[in-house]
Amino acid sequence: MNIIIFGATGRTGKELLQRALDEGHTVTAFVRNPSKLGISDSKLKVAQGEVTRYTDVDHVLKKEKFDAVFSALGAKSMFKRDLVLIDALKNIIQAMENNEAGKLIHVSFIGTHREAGKLGFLYKYVIPNVMTNLLRDHLDKDNLVTSSKLNWILVQPPVLTMDRYNGKYVHEAEIHPDKSRKLKLSRANLADFMLKHVNDSTYDRKAVLVTE
């Protein structure tokens, strides 16, 4: 597969990058600072640019066709709004629409699921009241994705960890209260899910909870 990752220097981005390369895929890392990547590989291409500058994003998506665009950009603070990342996602979506790129697989947050309250006290009361700004940003980004003309998957993970890959994770479009799940997920398992769903249409144009 040929994949591009926005947010490739982040913790999820790096897991995606390494896993995709290990599986033999060709990967473009779109980054503002290539020295933060710390990975070199014959199948890795580095595109330096500002995701907030439309022409930079358009340029890389015009140059070649990608099977999937992974969006794993993340805000610096859990408590402040980061509107720049909303503009960044607008650029990615617009450039994908203009260049007929493949599937957008966007990392969102489990707290945006319409039935997140079913997950217990943390998701019913604490996150909506304490992490209001983060939640608003994620909801705005979710709306951009779901109202686009693209093929997309909105991945809604809980707390992300740096645990090793073990393949033991569950995914579901609806929250079944009696289902057994842990409200955490390793970024390595998340990367595995995202890569497996580039050519799997189960969750196309759907939001999906991924947990351990």
Ligand X SMILES: NC(=O)c1ccc[n+]([C@@H]2O[C@H](COP(=O)([O-])OP(=O)(O)OC[C@H]3O[C@@H](n4cnc5c(N)ncnc54)[C@H](OP(=O)(O)O)[C@@H]3O)[C@@H](O)[C@H]2O)c1
Nearer to ligand X, 10 or 102 (CB): 10
Judged by the rule CB under 6 A, the positions of this chain that interact with ligand X are 7, 9-13, 32-33, 36, 51-52, 72-75, 84-85, 107, 109, 157, 159-160
In one-letter notation, the amino acid at residue 161 is: T
Q: Report the residue closest to ligand X, judged by CB.
A: 10
What minimum distance in Å lies between the beta carbon of 100 and ligand X?
24
What minimum distance in Å lies between the beta carbon of 104 and ligand X?
14
Which tokens sit at 151? 């093929």
Beta strand extents in the chain (DSSP E only)? 2-6, 26-31, 44-48, 68-71, 103-107, 152-156, 159-161, 170-172, 184-186, 206-211
Nearer to ligand X, 65 or 124 (CB): 124
Nearer to ligand X, 33 or 42 (CB): 33
Q: How far apart are CA 210 and CA 102, in angstroms?
A: 22
Nearer to ligand X, 84 or 130 (CB): 84
Q: Which residues contact 75 (CB under 8 A, 6 or more apart)?
A: 82, 85, 134, 137
Nearer to ligand X, 11 or 45 (CB): 11
Q: Which residues contact 161 (CB under 8 A, 6 or more apart)?
A: 184, 185, 186, 187
Q: How far apart are CA 66 and CA 6, in angstroms?
A: 13
What minimum distance in Å lies between the beta carbon of 25 and ligand X?
19
What minimum distance in Å lies between the beta carbon of 7 and ligand X?
4
CA angle 190, 182, 86 (to 5 degrees): 45
What minimum distance in Å lies between the beta carbon of 137 and ligand X?
8
Nearer to ligand X, 159 or 173 (CB): 159
Q: DSSP label at 133? A: H
Q: Where are the alpha helices (DSSP H) in 40-167?
A: 54-63, 83-99, 121, 127-130, 132-146
For residues 103 and 151, the answer to whether their CB atoms sit within 8 Å is yes
What minimum distance in Å lies between the beta carbon of 20 and ligand X?
15
